Amino acid sequence: MNLIRLIAVALAVWIIILIAKQLFARPARRVQPAARNASLPKDMVRCAHCGLHIPEVEAVTQQDRHYCSQHHLSLGPRD
């Protein structure tokens, strides 16, 4: 008889813990949709000096060559 009571109490405690977790759980964060243009893939270009790939809109361009920074533009292309 004692074993049955122990199992019943353990089961009741387990159920109470599950219910408490459901009640006190934080709601999932809703992810805000990104702007329409931000979700589109960007054209990537390669830095003529170091080879790093960066979005074309962020690249520094000179004579059809792209650079990742003004510093690498001043160093020129690496051969």
Work out how many domains the chain is built from and give that number: 1
**pLDDT the model gives residue 36:** 56
In a domain? residue 66: yes
Give dist(CA 38, CA 1) in Å, integer: 66
In a domain? residue 7: no
**pLDDT the model gives residue 78:** 81
In a domain? residue 36: no
Residue linked to tokens 């219910």: 19
In a domain? residue 50: yes
Give the structural domain span for 62.
Answer: 43-79
**pLDDT the model gives residue 35:** 58
In a domain? residue 56: yes
In a domain? residue 54: yes
13-54: pLDDT as tens digits? 999 999 998 888 877 677 666 555 555 677 999 999 999 999
**pLDDT the model gives residue 25:** 81
The residues near 42 (Cβ < 8 Å, ≥ 6 apart) are: 55, 56, 57
